[in-house]
Chain A
C-alpha cells in the first residue's frame, strides 16, 4: 500500500507529473470558468456578428483586439469557442468513463467473483465487443440516431448520446481489468474472513474485494478519459459528434478544416493544439500513476 504522503512525495519529485497535472488543472479551470473568462458567449447568437467572421488572430494584420485568436466563419471568437469546447470535450470524456466504469466494474466484479459460466459468458461478450472497434460502433449508432431524429433533437441530445455510446462501447476494458484483479484478490484470506463473518456476497464483493482492486481502475480511468475525448473528436470530425452550434474541440477542428486552404488556419490550429495538449497531459498523468501505483516498479523509499 502506498500512503498519501508517499504519493505526494513521488508527485513532487517528478516534473512530468507536476507539469501534466498543472496543464490539466489549467484546462479544467478554463473550461469550468469559461462563462467568466470568455469575452463572448459563442452559444448566444445575438452576440455574434457576421461582420466579424474570418478575422485573423489579434497580432496579425487585420486582427481585432476583441478576438485574441481570431474568429471563425460565423464570427465566433476562436478563444471563446475553445474555452466552451474544452468543457464539452471534458464532459464527454469524464461522462463516458463514468458509464464505462459503472458497467465495467459491475460486470468485471461479478465475473471474477462468481467464476464459472457467468465469467465465461461475460468475458466472451467482452471479447466480441472488443473485436468491434469503438469508432465503428459509434459511427453506426450515431448515424442511425441522426437519421431517425431531426437536427434540433439531435443537437439537444448529442452530448448524452456520445457519452452513452462511447461508454457502452468501452466497458470491456474496465471489466477485464477489474476481473483480473478480483481473481488475484478473491483467494486471499480476508475474503474468507469476510464470508465467515456472515456477510452476503454483495457486500464481500463491493465492500471488501473492490477497494483492493481499485488501483488499476484508477490508472485506466485517466487514460480512458483521454481516449474518450479522442474518440469524440474523431466522431465530431466525421460530422457525427457535437453539432457546430455546440462545438466540442473536435467539431471546432472540423469546422475550420474546410477553410484551412483559404488561409484561415487559426480556426483549426488552436483547437487542435488544445486537444493535443489535453490528451497528452491525461496520458502522461495516467502513465505516471501506473508507475507509482505499481508495487513492482516501486522504489524502496515509500
Chain B
C-alpha cells in the first residue's frame, strides 16, 4: 500500500456571488514509503496549496471541495481536528521556504523544539531536550547544546534552516513536505542544505515531497516528478524520464529555460507570456495561450492526464529538442 495517495483533490476559495475559484483542480499523486517526489511549477501553480491541502490546513475561507488524501490507510480529510493533530508534525512534517520567518522570533530554539516533541510524546522536558540536541547534531549544527538557548535572530540563515530541518525530523516522521527549502538561502548554502535533506531522507527512509521551481535540484534529489500548471498536474513520471524526454510542451519549455541548457552567448530562452490567474483561466487547456503546438482542439477541451501527460499533442520520445526543431 502506498504511504500517501492523493486522489482528485480540489481546493476552492469562495468569491462571493461569482462562485468559487479553484486553486487545485483535481490533483492525483501517490508516494511509496521512502520515495522522493518533486513538485515543480511556476508561482501560483498550486504547489504550496497542495502541501497545505495534504495536511488539511487550507486557510479560511478556502476548503477542499472534492477528493481524498489517504495517508497510511486513513483519509486525512475526514479525521477530526484532534486526530489529525497526531499526524501533523508527528508522522508528516513540513519544512518551509524562509527560515527567517518560520521560527518564532521571541522563543528560543530549544523551547520551540521541546514544545514540538511534547505535543506528540509524553516525555520529560529533560528527555525532550536531550533528543532535540541529538537532532541538532544530526543536522550538523556546531555546539548544538548551547544553540538550544539561542533566539532565531542570533543564527545565520543556513543555520536557521538546519534548525527547521531538525524540528521537522524531531518526531521521526514518515513523510517530509519541503516547500522550497532552499529558495531563501544563499546559493552557497543551497547545495549544502539540499544534500543534507537528501542524506537524512535516505538514511531514515523518509518519503519526501520537494516543492520547488528549480528543476536542477529536482533532478538531483527526487525519483519521481510532477509538473503543475494552473492547479493541475500536466506531466508526471520518473524524474529521469521527464528530464531526458519531456512530453508536455510546458515541461519542454521549463527545461529549455534552464540557463545550463542554453547555448553560450545566446539569449536565454523564456516561455512566452505568463501563467493565467486562477480567477481567469482560458477555456480548454490552460496552457494553450502560451503553447507553440496549440490547436483548436486545445482551445476547446481540457486534455485529460493520460500516460503521465495532460496534452493532446505531446512531444515524442525523441529528446527535448528534436520535436521543437521538427516543428520549426
Task: Determine how close the nearest CB of chain A comes to the CB of B121; give it in whole angstroms.
Answer: 11
Number of A-B residue pairs with CB-CB distance less than 8 Å in the complex they form: 70
Residues of chain A lying within 8 A (CB to CB) of residue B105: 1, 190, 212
Task: Determine how close the nearest CB of chain B comes to the CB of A116; give it in whole angstroms.
Answer: 8
Other-chain contact of A197, B60, B106, B119 (Cβ < 8 Å)? B119
Task: Determine how close the nearest CB of chain B comes to the CB of A297; give it in whole angstroms.
Answer: 19
Contact A189 to B98, CB < 8 A, known contacts A197-B119, A198-B119: yes
Residue-wise interface mask of B (67-106) relative to A, using a CB-CB cutoff of 8 A (1 in contact, 0 not):
0000000000000010001111110011011100111111
Instruction: Of the listed stretches A43-51, A128-136, A174-182, A199-207, name the one at the interface; the rest are far from the partner chain.
Output: A199-207
A197 touches B89 (CB 8 A): yes
Residue-wise interface mask of B (264-302) relative to A, using a CB-CB cutoff of 8 A (1 in contact, 0 not):
000000000000000000000000000000000000000
Number of B residues with CB within 8 Å of any CB on chain A: 31
B104 touches A192 (CB 8 A): no
CA distance A288 to B150 in the complex (A): 28
Contact A200 to B85, CB < 8 A, known contacts A189-B96, A208-B107: yes
Q: Would you call A195 an interface residue if the criterion is a C-beta within 8 Å of the partner chain's C-beta atoms?
A: yes
Q: Would you call B55 an interface residue if the criterion is a C-beta within 8 Å of the partner chain's C-beta atoms?
A: yes
CA distance A290 to B48 in the complex (A): 38
Residues of chain B lying within 8 A (CB to CB) of residue A190: 101-105
Q: Would you call B63 an interface residue if the criterion is a C-beta within 8 Å of the partner chain's C-beta atoms?
A: no
Contact A198 to B85, CB < 8 A, known contacts A189-B96, A203-B119: yes
Number of A residues with CB within 8 Å of any CB on chain B: 20
Kindly name the residue among B104, B151, B167 whose own CB sees the greatest number of chain A CB atoms within 10 A: B104
CA distance A115 to B59 in the complex (A): 12
B101 touches A189 (CB 8 A): yes
Task: Determine how close the nearest CB of chain A comes to the CB of B44; give it in whole angstroms.
Answer: 18
CA distance A211 to B106 in the complex (A): 7
Q: Would you call A193 an interface residue if the criterion is a C-beta within 8 Å of the partner chain's C-beta atoms?
A: yes
Task: Determine how close the nearest CB of chain A comes to the CB of B67; give it in whole angstroms.
Answer: 20
Besides A1-B106, A197-B116, A211-B104, 15 other A-B contacts (C-beta < 8 A): A1-B151, A116-B60, A188-B101, A189-B96, A189-B101, A190-B105, A193-B102, A193-B104, A194-B104, A197-B119, A197-B167, A198-B90, A199-B85, A200-B81, A200-B85
